[in-house]
Structure formats: structure tokens, C-alpha cells
Amino acid sequence: MAKSDGNLPNNNQTPKIKYIILGCGSIGYNILGELKESDENILVVDENEKRVEDLRDHRHQAIVGDITDPALVAKIPEPEVVFVLAADKDVNLVAVQNIKNAFPQVHVIARAMDPFSADLLADHGADVVLYPQQVVAKSAVSHMNNLIASRNAQKLFSHLSSWTGTLGIITHKNPDPDAISSSMALAAIANSASGGKLTPRILYEGNIGHQENRAFVNLLEIKMEKLTPEILKGCNYLALMDCVAPGMNNDLPLDTPINIIIDHHSTEGVTRLHNPDLLDFRQNVGATASIMTQYLQELYLPIDKKVATALFYGIRADTKEFQRNISPQDLHNAAYLLPLSDQSLLEVIMAPSVSQETLDVLGNAIVNREIKHGYLFSNAGYVRNRDAIPQAADMLVNLEGVTTAMVYGITDNNITLSARNKDIRLHVGDVMKEAFSPIPGASAGGHATMAALSIPLNAFSLVKNKEELLGMVIDPILSNFMKLVGISEVEGDES
């Protein structure tokens, strides 16, 4: 074949080029395979004459050319997308500039050789920058996570199929849709694996106070039981769902043997476990319901409509309508569950009535708010329904000028605090853990955007007045929090 003179192949008409690949190499060859378009839609430009000949032998349109030459753009038609893929960062930068100067509307996807060149390419007009080493690393980790998830699913099924008796599935103290739906999924897997030899029971200790949570349980007819010492003693096996360890957001004795634990929160407290049969912590997902959905898919188990509805709502609720701590895995699992869910039930669950008590707590939180440099603190006082506190935090963090909201109150058994955060510089879960960890019995922590604190009142049995106790305990630890984030207490409050 004759050498190319740098012009398009003569086929008696101007080709309709959709994609242009500048600098082919191994990545360019793979992109040619992935595009799966007609050869007439793709043009390759490369300075290597032998490579161009090989491409033509395989019926690809290709020309020899220096992709840094400004005159090149006069020889090629305007495409929709240009791939800039040379193995030289300086060459790619010049090529991106030339293409964008000639064709401002064209989409440019460029190859970076290091993180610094990635920023330069983006600054000079590349719409998408690919750093192959990073892509490979992310792909490797993704495959690793999928392999681990598949192995955990098979391990779980194997254990459940070999057990007989009663499986106590324990949620955290005041269960939310994520914990409840995850427990439903585990119960469904246990029923399928054991063939009826293992009886799952969903157990909880506290209250289901949030109006949406009550509607969720009632409308889906979810069977849940209050955990008692007698029921606990009658369980042959125990699982903790959406809960990290005995004594962490539950009243289980610290030495309680746990067989299964599945959670997406902090792993603090895991050392308290006594060699569980299955331990699955995934802090990179937004909901435990997402983990359980992946189990059901890995095991190829049919999903009952109520279970699918519960899991979808669990993911939706724990990610605050897919806006908080969301991961690609959560979105994938939600998309899988949605067509299997009961849409009419979801609409009813998401529009419950608000109780007078919840309204009172929200009102107290609004009235008692104090704002210091974007941090809002509010004392909701004595509350019967602890679920109203995170509701108040969700609402108050949206106030103008507020980046972090912390709402606290006291119940019959605990001092509880919920935090919500929009400041990307702050990991509120880590700061809360550091600020409140010195308190005996305190359970604190969470994610970058949301966190919680619970302090059992049995540590303060000599103090009788709850309002007085709340002030005694919360003031010094809030002071510690403010010091950690750099707020001076002597500075005036903002209105």
C-alpha cells in the first residue's frame, strides 16, 4: 500500500466523520473496537506510517499526520467527538488546544499521563480527561468489591442453610426503613436457604416514632417484635442489621455473641464481636438495604414485592432521596428494585401525616436555635419521639447561612443528638466521634454529611431533673466540638 500523503482517503466524496482519534496506540485500537460504528464514521490520525497502513488493511480510515500541527485541522472535517490519545502529555495538550481553537463545539476526550497533566488538559478545553492508571485502579477495586460481595453472599447462604432453630435479626434501637428493610431481606434469604428449618424473627428495642417509619411498617405489614431477655435467650443465632456491634445503638450486653453483622456505618466497636460467622461492613455505600439488595441479586433469589418496596424505600430514605452519601452501587440497586416495587404503596408511605408532638419538637428546635459562623445548635428539650430530632436537623441545615446543624434533646433513656452537614471541608462523623468519645457509654459517629450521638441516662442516675441533666452534659461536649472546628465561644451569636 502506498504511503499516505496526510490527506483523507480518496473515495470521491467527503466522508461523514463522527469520531476522530488523534494518536492511536493500544488505547485507540480498543476505542475503535468499542465504538462499533461504520468505518466511514471514524477517522484515525497518527504519525506512525506502519500503524496507519495496518489500520487501512483492516478497512479503517486513517491518515498520517502530526497531531500537534495547527495545519492538521484544515485537512479534517469537523466531527462530533475527538479522542486525543498520544502517550505524550505535551503532545496531547497542544492537540487539545488546536482542536478547540478550530472546532469550539466539538467534544474532546483526552488522555492524561499524570494528575497534573489531567488538570492542564481540563483547563485548556478537554471535556473529559482520562487518566488510564486511575481508571485501571478504580476498575480493579470495583472488581475486588464485587468478588468480595459475591463470596459474602454465598457464605451467608451456606451458613443459613446449615442452621436450625431461631434466627434473631436485631435492628438498631429505634429502627429506620434501612434497618427494617435490610432485616426483611435477611429473613427472606434465611427462609429460602433453610427450607423452613430456620425461623427468622425481626427484633427491636426502642420505638418506631417517625411518622414515615410507622406508615412504612403498617402499610407493608412488617412483622416486628420488641426484644425482651426471654426472646433473646430463645434465639439460637443472632444477626445485627444496620448496627455495628453489641452496645452500639442498642442495649445488648457487650459480650453478646453475634453470628452475622451487616452494616454501612463506621467499624468502631467491631473488636467487641466474638468471631462472627459473617461480617460485612461497607462504608462506601449509602444504605445497608443496598448491600442486601446485592445479596439477593448475587444469589438469584426472587424478590417479593413488599421486600422490594421496603428495600427501595430504605435506600431512598437513608440517602435522603438519593442526595446524601450516595454511591453508584446504591443507584444501580435502586434501579433494579424500582420496577419490582409497589408504586402506589410508596406514594402513600412518602406522604404521611405529621404528629402534633413532632410539630412541637420542630417548633422548639426552630425557636431555640443559635448560629455561630455557619454552625447551628439547637436544644429541643425533652422529647418522647427521638425521631423528631433528626427531622429537625434535616430541616434546619437548609436555613440560609447554615452549613452544619446540630439538634439535641433528651428522652426517657438517652441524650440524643443529630447532626447534618453541607461543608465539604468537614467530616462531621469523625469530629463528633472525637468530641464525644470521652463520655462513658456514648455512641457517636457517622458519615461526612450526617452523624448521631446517643448517651444512656443510666450513667447519670443521681441527677433527677432531665432538663438540668441535658444542660450539664451537652454544654461541655458542645464546647469541645466548637474547639475542634475552630469556633470561639466568646464570639457573638448570629441571628
User: Is residue 303's pLDDT more than 70?
Assistant: yes
Please report where in the chains the cell 485501571 appears, as a residue.
Answer: 136
Tell me if the pTM is above 0.85.
no
Q: Evaluate whether 417 touches 365 at the Cβ level (below 8 Å).
A: no
Give percent of the chain with pLDDT exceeding 90. Answer: 46
pLDDT at position 436: 78
pLDDT at position 492: 47
How far apart CA 455 and CA 437 sit, in angstroms, is 10
pLDDT at position 194: 94
pLDDT at position 274: 63
User: Is residue 490's pLDDT more than 60?
Assistant: no
In the chain, what are the domains? 19-130 (3.40.50.720), 147-349 (3.90.1640.10), 356-485 (3.10.310.30)
How far apart CA 354 and CA 388 sit, in angstroms, is 10
pLDDT at position 444: 80
SS3 letters for 22-58? Answer: ECCHHHHHHHHHHHCCCHHHEEEEECCHHHHHHHHHC
Considering only 367-376, 381-390, 393-402, which range has the smallest mean pLDDT? 381-390
Rounded to 5°, angle at Cα 119 from 115 and 124? 145
User: Is residue 403's pLDDT more than 90?
Assistant: yes
E strands, 312-425, are 369-372, 375-382, 404-410, 414-421
Chain-wide mean pLDDT for the chain?
A: 86
Compute the average pLDDT of residues 195-219.
86
Compute the average pLDDT of residues 304-311.
94
Q: Are strands 198-204 and 260-263 parallel, antiparallel or unpaired?
A: unpaired
pLDDT tens digits, 419-431: 999 988 888 888 8
Q: Evaluate whether 386 touches 361 at the Cβ level (below 8 Å).
A: no
User: Is residue 10's pLDDT more than 60?
Assistant: no
Q: Evaluate whether 269 touches 245 at the Cβ level (below 8 Å).
A: yes
Compute the average pLDDT of residues 270-279.
73
User: Is residue 117's pLDDT more than 60?
Assistant: yes
- Among 244, 254, 278, smallest CA distance to 170 is for 244
pLDDT at position 2: 39
pLDDT at position 12: 42
pLDDT tens digits, 58-103: 888 999 999 999 999 888 889 999 999 999 999 999 999 999 999 9
pLDDT tens digits, 13-67: 445 789 999 998 888 888 888 886 666 689 999 999 999 999 999 888 999 999 9
pLDDT at position 412: 80
Considering only 119-128, 160-169, 464-473, which range has the smallest mean pLDDT? 464-473
- Among 316, 304, 277, smallest CA distance to 188 is for 304
pLDDT at position 82: 95
Rounded to 5°, angle at Cα 330 from 302 and 211? 85
pLDDT at position 11: 43
How far apart CA 387 and CA 409 sit, in angstroms, is 11
Between these two residues, 297 and 441, which has the higher pLDDT value? 297
- Name the amino acid, one letter, at 173: K
Q: Following CA atoms 485, 488, 492, 495 in sequence, which dihedral angle do they give, to the nearest 10 degrees?
A: 0
pLDDT at position 270: 60
pLDDT at position 14: 47
Q: Evaluate whether 291 touches 153 at the Cβ level (below 8 Å).
A: no
Identify which of 83-87, 115-119, 272-276, 439-443 has the greatest average pLDDT. 83-87
User: Cβ–Cβ contacts within 10 Å for residue 318, how many?
Assistant: 26
Between these two residues, 145 and 88, which has the higher pLDDT value? 88
Between these two residues, 476 and 316, which has the higher pLDDT value? 316
How far apart CA 477 and CA 81 sit, in angstroms, is 56
CA 469 to chain centre: 36
pLDDT tier for residue 165 given thresholds of 50, 70 and 90:
very high
pLDDT tier for residue 107 given thresholds of 50, 70 and 90:
very high
How far apart CA 160 and CA 193 sit, in angstroms, is 6
pLDDT tens digits, 354-371: 677 788 888 889 999 999
DSSP character at residue 113: S
Q: Evaluate whether 35 touches 18 at the Cβ level (below 8 Å).
A: no
pLDDT tens digits, 449-470: 888 888 888 766 655 566 667 7
Sheet with 61-64: strands ordered across: 61-64, 42-46, 19-22, 81-84, 107-111, 128-130
Query: Alpha carbon of 190 to those of 239, 256, 299: distances in Å?
Result: 11, 21, 12
How far apart CA 396 and CA 491 sit, in angstroms, is 21
How far apart CA 288 and CA 262 sit, in angstroms, is 7
How far apart CA 158 and CA 136 sit, in angstroms, is 33
User: Is residue 187's pLDDT more than 60?
Assistant: yes
Give percent of the chain with pLDDT exceeding 70. Answer: 89
User: Is residue 269's pLDDT more than 60?
Assistant: no
pLDDT at position 7: 54
Handedness of CA 392, 394, 396, 402 (dihedral sign): positive
User: Cβ–Cβ contacts within 10 Å for residue 37, how many?
Assistant: 11
Between these two residues, 218 and 238, which has the higher pLDDT value? 238
Long-range contacts of 255-264 (CB under 8 A, 24+ apart): 256/232, 259/159, 260/156, 260/159, 260/186, 262/182, 262/186, 262/288, 262/291, 262/292, 263/288, 264/288, 264/290, 264/291
pLDDT at position 439: 73
Considering only 130-139, 435-444, 477-486, which range has the smallest mean pLDDT? 435-444
455 beta partners:
415
